[in-house]
Structure 1
């Protein structure tokens, strides 16, 4: 559990205690008030909080992935980057085929697993993306080239196209790649694992 509990006479003192313990500013803390006691005439007054900082989230994610490797007897080095609250995780391993799986399905499932564990641990939605041995970057390059070809066909034929289902990060990569293409817009449709991207003929679309 990455949360730690702190009890002081006031919320301000409890937050200062947590910040001091974690080596961060009070503004960098996330916290929940667990219990407040008003006491009698101010005597016995206390506030108990649980608090964490961004570094705690990073440590949890790295530890969770590393424990998965250890339990599965897989080798792997985990690096993490905090991109304004979105965590980008890079894994280097000799077992990349096992972790990626066919068409990246195993990696997608692993990403969902780690995301769910971190979100449950910190009681909030934690956004993260795991890449294994540069697979995602190669994948983005491949699908954006494909999408550009499809978009050119859409523009030529004036007939919209719908791509196969893909995860949010891949849809975003295509959306960004086509954002400045004349007469072309993109939108996502569907739910969950069936969510996919549509490439739409949009004559007169303004391009920056």
Structure 2
């Protein structure tokens, strides 16, 4: 469990104890009150809380991936960058191709696995994206070039197009790439792994 417990005579004191121990401000803590004693005439009053901060989320992700590598008998390194609560994770192993899989499918599944584990551990939705040795950046460049070609055809023919299903991060990359294109807009449709991006002819949009 990544939660640690702290106590104090008041909630404020318990949070102060936690923030001093973790080296972060009280505002950076997420907590639940696990026990509260009123005492007698104020004597013996105490509050116990379980607490975590973003450093604990990073530590959990790091350990989870390293344990996965160990169990799979894979060597590997893990680097995590926290961008306002969204965790960008770069991993590199001697088995990069195996971890990526055909068309990135294994990497997508691994990303879902780590995300689900972190979200379950901290009882909240944890946003993260795993890249393997720069694969995702290369992938973004490739699919965005493809989408721009399709968008130009949509603008020329005035006929909307639907791309193949792809994960949310890839749809977002294409959306950003086409956001300033004249007469073109994008829209996601579908559910789960079948969710895909539509490229729409939008004559009223005049940005370029």
TM range (shorter): over 0.9
By how many angstroms is 1:24 displaced? 1.1
Partner of 2:105: 105
**1:5-154 paired onto structure 2 within 5 Å:** 5-154=5-154
Runs of 4+ in 1 over 2 A off after TM superposition: none
Partner of 2:165: 165
User: In 2, Cα distance between the equivalents of 1:187 and 1:82?
Assistant: 28
Q: Give the structure-2-normalised TM-score.
A: 0.98
Does residue 4 in structure 1 map to residue 12 in structure 2?
no
User: In 1, Cα distance between the equivalents of 2:97 and 2:105?
Assistant: 11
Unaligned runs of 5+ in 1: none
Partner of 1:178: 178
User: In 2, Cα distance between the equivalents of 1:13 and 1:174?
Assistant: 48
**1:187-202 paired onto structure 2 within 5 Å:** 187-202=187-202
Unaligned runs of 5+ in 2: none
By how many angstroms is 1:92 displaced? 1.2
User: In 1, Cα distance between the equivalents of 2:159 and 2:150?
Assistant: 10
User: In 1, Cα distance between the equivalents of 2:206 and 2:125?
Assistant: 34
Tell me the number of residue pairs that the alignment of Structure 1 and Structure 2 aligns. Answer: 208
